[in-house]
Structure 1
């Protein structure tokens, strides 16, 4: 068929229900043909890397503000974007033993917190797959 002769809808797949990716899924979807693109969040309050202002998470993704990191106050987030993860390692923390990975800003490589891979205590299992961002390493991006 030559250009301009296709009838509307011909050769097109019917639309299906679209899955709205979560913030962490969006991060996985940001790699195109070998290039990695930063995710830019659309929210009224965005937390970013203090060093380079790269978007990291939305205010709405905060699960708890009752955490402490190496630099003081820290927040537990449901999802983050624009980070890389180190290899997992076991750490004894104030709430027990966990397997965690440090997370680094993808843009400037600064450590911004960690991800919980595994909690050994039953009462701490809710942290698995969640992220800690340290307040001292964050800024509000407008």
Structure 2
């Protein structure tokens, strides 16, 4: 099953059997997210989905990766009103009520794929340690946090 949702002059989000692809388009995406172009995220690299249905304000889907930055570098994160919001995240799609039904189906599909992918993965201590080393190298965790996790994983 594949789902593709087009938000004209803004974004296209596609989910298939292996991955989610987000393609940002136009000036608004460039300003908010820091660029245009596409990013592909395999289900195995997705930690969760932040989903907000549209109401008085727009809704959003943010695909939260297991590691790496979510900030796209655009202007959406500079204004204190929007800092930390979906407007500044590169893996975010902002949408209105007109796309809500499609987005509900998309979120359901992605959550099923994440659950299926995660249930098939067994992570060794070495894999976990490599993941935490990458987080350390990317300055996402401190040396002390890395050492504590290393001791825990190696039963030291």
TM-score, L = length of structure 2: 0.25
User: In proportion to residue count, which structure has more strand?
Assistant: 1
TM-score, L = length of structure 1: 0.27
Q: If you compute each CA radius of gyration, which structure gives the higher value, 1 or 2?
A: 1
RCO (CA 8 Å, sep 6+): is it higher in 1 or 2? 1
